[in-house]
Amino acid sequence: GAVVSQHPSWVICKSGTSVKIECRSLDFQATTMFWYRQFPKQSLMLMATSNEGSKATYEQGVEKDKFLINHASLTLSTLTVTSAHPEDSSFYICSATGPTTYNEQFFGPGTRLTVL
Amino acid sequence: AQKVTQAQTEISVVEKEDVTLDCVYETRDTTYYLFWYKQPPSGELVFLIRRNSFDEQNEISGRYSWNFQKSTSSFNFTITASQVVDSAVYFCALTWRTDSWGKLQFGAGTQVVVTP
């Protein structure tokens, strides 16, 4: 199956700092990537959809100025949490799909963000 | 509106018992896909099955089986002869053709606890 990686797997930062999370498709071209957020004991909630070379589409209630998404290449999307606060502490998961994945999306292993 | 309901928050069983997880979905689209994912304590999502709306055949894969019934909008999942390694959170999810193909709407998840 197709492989998606995320880096870092976990990060701890101070309140007010920015954190960048990378999502890479290792063996296929990811024309579309999705970013999800999961709070403890809760389900995954879609934050945004990004298509390569285009601006991301954010779900209702997600602050686009706070969660900056860049999908500049067919193998890499980044999520930057700007001026992070403790309430942004969560598990962030990306998924990717492309023309060779037959409508299936592949998930990264997730990034656990803790903001102190 | 698209919605996935997993009414069971947690199910506890003793090893070798069977366990059935319920999933009820809502969508106005006639073309959609349903999924089941497993999320062990590590957090990484494990894909279990994808079923499209035109294929109502039940499926069996080892100890796993799925019952898809469009008449009741349900896509239930059964683990036969459960094992401790089956302990995880299981998510049912839905994606639909209209709007952004590929966006996943997840259910709340069901925690399965299998004790020896």
Tens of pLDDT along A93-110?
A: 999 988 887 778 899 999
Categorize the per-residue pLDDT at B101 as very low, low, confident or very high, splitting at 50, 70 and 90: low
For residue A99, cis peptide bond before it (omega within 30 degrees of 0)? no
From chain B, the residues in CB contact with A57 under 8 A are 100
pLDDT at B98: 62
Of B44, B102, B107, nearest to A105 by CB-CB distance is: B102
Angle at A36 between CA B6 and CA A90, to 5 degrees: 95
From chain A, the residues in CB contact with B44 under 8 A are 107, 109-110
Of B43, B100, B107, nearest to A43 by CB-CB distance is: B107
Residue with tokens 């999306």: A105
Q: CB-based contact (8 Å) between B23 and chain A?
A: no
Categorize the per-residue pLDDT at B107 as very low, low, confident or very high, splitting at 50, 70 and 90: very high
A105 and B101 within 8 Å at the Cβ level: the answer is no
For an interface test with B, the pick among A44, A58, A92 (most B C-beta atoms closer than 10 Å) comes out as: A44
CA distance B92 to B70: 15
Least confident span in A61-75, A98-112, B89-103: B89-103
Of B101, B102, B106, nearest to A44 by CB-CB distance is: B106
Q: CB-based contact (8 Å) between B49 and chain A?
A: no
pLDDT at B99: 58
Residue with tokens 């957090």: B43
CA distance B97 to B72: 20
For an interface test with A, the pick among B39, B96, B111 (most A C-beta atoms closer than 10 Å) comes out as: B39
What percent of chain B shows pLDDT beyond 90?
80
CA distance A71 to A69: 7
CA distance B2 to A99: 25
Tens of pLDDT along B71-81?
A: 999 999 999 99
Name the nearest CA neighbour of B23 among B68, B86, B71, B81: B68
